[in-house]
Amino acid sequence: MKRIHNVGKIDRIIRVLIAIVIAALYYTGILESEAFLFLAVLLAMTSLNRCCPIYSLLGFGTCGIEVDKSEKKIKTKELKLK
């Protein structure tokens, strides 16, 4: 199965930094809800996998994909779900 990457390098770095900050705030007690910890794990996982499901559903990405200026749409690879 071919992996689709739609998260670019800068986006990955930002996701990891936000995940670290959220996790640190959770463990210091500033953020008390486990939802924040889940968000931090989710951001870290999408960064490591280089694939964001929300980007796939919306049909765009940040990994240097081509933009067709005549159609003003971002060309992405087709996501095949089984």
pLDDT surpasses 50 at 29: yes
Q: Is the pLDDT of residue 26 over 80?
A: yes
Q: What is the DSSP string of 31-65?
A: S--HHHHHHHHHHHHHHHHT--HHHHHHT--SSS-
Per DSSP, the three-state class of 22 is: helix
What are the tens digits of pLDDT across the range 31-70?
999 999 999 999 999 999 888 888 888 877 887 655 444 5
What one-character DSSP code corresponds to residue 73?
E
Closest to 45 measured CA to CA, from 53, 33, 55, 36: 53
